[in-house]
Amino acid sequence: MGNYLNIGNAGFSAVREGIYVDKTGLISFMNRILGTRDKLSCVSRPRRFGKSYAAQMLCAYYDKSCDSRKLFEDLAISKDLSFETHLNQYNVIYLDITGFVSRAFVAGTMSRIVQELQKDVIRELCAAYPEAEKKEYLPDMLYDISQMTGEKFIFIIDEWDALFREAKADTFSQDCYIQLLRGLFKDSGRTDKMIAAAYMTGILPIKKYGTQSAMTDFREYTMLAPKRLAEYVGFMEPEVRTLCEQYGMDFEEAKKWYDGYSFSRVKSIYNPNSVIEAVKSGEFGNYWTQTETFETLRIYIDMDEDGLKEAIIQMLGGARIKIDAGAFQNDMTTIKGRDDILTLFVHLGYLAYDMSSRSVYIPNEEIREEFVRAITHGRHTEIAKLIRGSGALLDATLNRDEEAVAAAIEEAHQAGTAPTFYNNEQALCSVIRFAYISCVDAYFQIDELPSGHGYADVVFFPKKNSSMPLLLIELKWNKTEQGAIGQIKKKDYPQALKDYGGEMLLVGINYDAKSKKHTCVIEEYSA
């Protein structure tokens, strides 16, 4: 077993020793495309979404230098008709590009990183095939070996885009790298004879040059469109529910913290690393910050391209923002506007994408905390002030200080938290959700809670073991705050919450477009 050629199954064996969710259906998918025109796959996911686990699993299954039967015989793939056919039958070349980049930085050899990568792999190929003539160019070496032995290789390339992320300005090395990948996978006359399949993982999709992909033969599965691989992006809801039952965790709390990524094929995907960390520790919290840094967010938010700040604020208030993701060049430097940054955030996992509406949104509490941290430590001091002052707004609401509540909402509106056209109750609702952002620490937010005769605009439902009252907020535009309270009572919204049984505050808020003033009235509800 080598470092690159046939690395064995130790990585996946270690994975199986911990908390494991069966994702071997991915192997079934790969078995179906082996040797076909669709054999080249590029799967892009955010950090800590299981990319390396999947790569280690595929290495363990296909690698002919080891016997992995016991690792898979109790998993879903063992029931697939293709299981025996392909188990440990291939030469596998595994490349961890992040490792190559790190070693090159330390050694000061970044300018030669592509040449050094080829040397390392060729050295192992020469040891495994001493009868083969040594070549300096990896595709030539692989082609000769395949012609000599009749064997094909499977490539597993982990973090394929690390060079584009870690050496953003080194365009020479990037171009050399792309040319190597093209030499391996673009020359169909040779690629078909020496490559059985390739599985590349990364954070970013394949780099574009203009409108064309640098490697057009690859089938891409991204955070914008994972297609048939959607269920392998993260954990699905039944999987998380099972884990919560096994380890005595509150499923609804897990959903609030880590759910929110949604695709056409799978409507509820959870951050897998965060779920596992919560299960291990027995506590829900922000595990993203232990592996990511808000610096990435802060740098791009501070650019404030084309009203980016306003879009982020609206999403913190629960809104969804339409974007055009098609022009993004799939790198971290060619940023031409707000939509490029928001698309990048989708690929980094900071936003979720709704394909049906072509809009982005903040998926869960864990990510919301990252955005709040990025804004409060960034250049937008007026927004940071509002976020910090949100606690005072909640206190004013609980103390029934109607003037203070109206003034705080007025301040939030003036700070640019509303959509560009602040002219209806939906726009007002966006301001309210942002102004009450501190409520997420003690409340679940429910928008448009149904009642017998309509919908309540915003409800803040106290979390378990909280002594806070329930807040039911009704919004009006060019009417009266008393009319908002009257609507609550007329439509009998509290009746929809009759099983709650705790204290309840009714909050009516009106915006007068002529005077440009917000007014508020707060009443305690008693059944």
Q: What is the pLDDT of residues 194-251, one digit of tens each?
A: 999 999 999 988 877 655 566 788 999 999 999 999 999 999 999 999 999 999 999 9
Residue-level pLDDT at 291:
53
Residue-level pLDDT at 444:
75
Residue-level pLDDT at 374:
77
Say which residue, 312 or 277, is predicted with more confidence: 277
Q: What is the mean pLDDT of residues 124-146?
A: 96
pLDDT at 449 over 60: no
Instruction: Say how many C-beta atoms besides its own lie within 10 A of residue 340's C-beta.
Output: 23
CATH number for the segment(s) 382-525: 3.40.1350
Residue-level pLDDT at 381:
64
The answer to whether 329 touches 339, Cβ cutoff 8 Å, is no
pLDDT band per the 50, 70, 90 thresholds, residue 301: confident
Residue-level pLDDT at 453:
44
Per the prediction, the chain carries an average pLDDT of: 87
For residue 441, give every residue at least 6 positions away whose Cβ sits within 8 Å of its Cβ, in sequence order, or none: none
Q: Which tokens hold the place of 33?
A: 């495309």
Residue-level pLDDT at 455:
54
pLDDT digits (tens, 9 = 90+) for 17-75: 989 999 999 999 999 999 999 999 999 999 889 999 999 999 999 999 999 999 999 99
pLDDT band per the 50, 70, 90 thresholds, residue 141: very high
Fold (CATH) for 10-221: Rossmann fold (3.40.50)
pLDDT digits (tens, 9 = 90+) for 173-196: 988 999 999 999 987 689 999 999
The answer to whether 447 touches 472, Cβ cutoff 8 Å, is no
Residue-level pLDDT at 387:
74
Residue-level pLDDT at 420:
60
Q: Nearest to residue 40, comparing CAs of 225, 146, 185, 214?
A: 185
Domain positions in the chain are 10-221, 232-290, 302-376, 382-525
Alpha-carbon span 236 to 242, nearest angstrom: 10
Residue-level pLDDT at 452:
45
Buried b (16+ CB within 10 A) or exposed e, 134-152: ebeebbebbbbbbeeeeeb
Tell whether pTM > 0.85: no
The answer to whether 152 touches 90, Cβ cutoff 8 Å, is yes
Query: For the chain, what is the largest distance between any 2 Cα atoms, rounded to a whole number of angstroms?
Result: 89
Q: What is the mean pLDDT of residues 471-481?
A: 85
Buried b (16+ CB within 10 A) or exposed e, 486-512: bbbeebebbebbeeeeeebbbbbbbbe
What secondary structure letter does DSSP report for 90? B
**H-helix or E-strand spanning residue 253:** helix 251-258
- Please report, rounded to a whole number, the percentage of residues in the chain having pLDDT higher than 70: 88
pLDDT at 401 over 80: yes
pLDDT band per the 50, 70, 90 thresholds, residue 484: confident
For residue 233, give every residue at least 6 positions away whose Cβ sits within 8 Å of its Cβ, in sequence order, or none: 45, 49, 223, 226, 261, 263, 266, 269
Residue-level pLDDT at 421:
61
* Strand 40-44 with 195-202, pairing: parallel
Q: What is the mean pLDDT of residues 477-482?
A: 83
Residue-level pLDDT at 382:
64
Please report, for residues 94, 145, 474, the alpha-carbon distance to residue 149 in angstroms, rounded to integers and kept in the order given: 20, 6, 74
Degrees to nearest 5, angle at CA 196 with 9 and 331: 85
Say which residue, 282 or 411, is predicted with more confidence: 282
Degrees to nearest 5, angle at CA 261 with 259 and 264: 130
Q: Nearest to residue 11, comparing CAs of 46, 52, 50, 48?
A: 52
Concatenated DSSP letters for 23-73?
A: -THHHHHHHHHTTSTT-EEEEE--TTSSHHHHHHHHHHHHBTTS--HHHHT
